[in-house]
Amino acid sequence: MRFDIVTIFPSMFDQPLAAGVVGRAIENGRLEVRIHDLRDFTTDRHRVVDDVPYGGGPGMVLKPEPIFSALAAIEAETGRASSVILMSPQGARFTQRDARRLSGAARVVLVCGRYEGVDERVRERVTEELSIGDYVLSGGELPALVVLDAVARLVPGVVGDQQSVDEDSFSRGLLDFPQYTATCGTARPGNGPGAGGIEGARRLAVGQPCGDSALAEA
């Protein structure tokens, strides 16, 4: 599966794409991720990607021409992607269902908004808009990483343990159950009941409670 990400801050993706599940998937060829600097698709000497809003108002708006050029260059290399997504606060709320749907695509393009948003004409060029929640971020780069990570986990072979993926929170419409490590005798913080140590997984495995009262009965 291939992701193409259009952004004015390509360096924001360096470390996240080099670590963890996604980093390993890129290294072993399960995923291909290309980062495209929007400024490379400008035509002026100063590589300007934004302009003042038409009619006035605060902030700046990303111009349509560099975005159109970036998308055209991606298409020229790989053909048109079935999903060209604008990360936008006006977008639909991203869910696990969206992640599963997108994981079946061969190519996904993510366009990262910035400033006051993008020129409205850009919306005619994308297939959908997604948001990761109702709060303010500086741009679409972090949401793009969220979408990439959630989708990548569902691509076969990216996560080594398929059962782990199938039983993840939200995969079955539910949150996961409480988890414990296999360590016994772990100190429990605080001064409340059971503080000072727990038997841990051994007692949980046979249905016995952990804590000082359980140890006293053993």
Active-site positions read 89, 116, 153, 168
E strand or H helix at 216: helix 212-217
Taking each helix axis as running N to C, give the angle between helix 141-152 and helix 20-27, from 0 to 180 degrees, rounded to the nearest 10.
Answer: 70
* Collapsed DSSP state (helix, strand, coil) of residue 86: strand
- Using an 8 Å Cβ cutoff, are 69 and 118 in contact? no
Q: Positive or negative CA dihedral for 170, 103, 164, 141?
A: negative
Torsion of CA 115, 117, 118, 122, to 10 degrees: 150
The CA distance from 131 to 87, in Å, is: 6
- Please give the backbone phi and psi of residue 187, each rounded to the nearest 5 degrees, phi first: -65, 135
- Using an 8 Å Cβ cutoff, are 87 and 130 in contact? yes
The closest alpha carbon to 88, from 130, 135, 148, 134, belongs to 130
Distances (CA, A) of 176 to 19, 208, 212, 215: 24, 21, 27, 28
